[in-house]
């Protein structure tokens, strides 16, 4: 299994807007994507910092987010809410308990 970790910095007061956008637009799309296993969103309402972890069956499934343009389309939906461009990393899940 593979995990993509995206760190974001939201504009002040935009945490609820970002969560709603994720729930209404991103989650339904991801649920239809090959290899998607789940997602977690973490955030600090005071600072606007957020971390999203998505889980993927294979490395190819995780990487396909970039080559298909799905990642870029998803980030574009958040453009008005972000204070800075997001960063992303990809890892192999070494242990799940």
Per-domain residue ranges of the chain: 9-88
pLDDT at position 68 over 90: no
3-state secondary structure 67-90: HCCHHHHHHHHCCCCEEEEEEEEE
Across the strands, what pairs with 8?
A: 50
Please give the average per-residue pLDDT across 37-59, as a whole number: 96
Q: What local confidence, expressed as pLDDT, does residue 70 receive?
A: 86
pLDDT at position 34 over 90: yes
Is the domain covering 9-88 a CATH 3.30.70.100 domain?
A: yes
Residue owning tokens 């298909």: 68
Which two tokens mark 5?
A: 């970790």
Which strands sit side by side in the sheet containing 2-10, from one edge to the other?
36-43, 49-56, 2-10, 82-92
Please give the average per-residue pLDDT across 59-78, as a whole number: 90
């Amino acid at each position: 299994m593979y995990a993509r970790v995206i760190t974001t910095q939201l504009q002040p007061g935009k945490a609820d807007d970002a969560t709603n956008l994720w729930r209404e637009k991103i989650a339904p799309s991801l649920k239809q994507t090959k290899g998607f296993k789940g997602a977690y969103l973490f955030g600090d309402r005071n600072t606007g910092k957020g971390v999203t972890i998505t889980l993927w069956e294979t490395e190819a499934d995780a990487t396909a987010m970039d080559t298909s343009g799905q990642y870029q389309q998803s980030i574009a939906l958040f453009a008005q809410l972000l204070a800075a461009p997001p960063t992303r990393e990809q890892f192999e899940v070494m242990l799940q308990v």
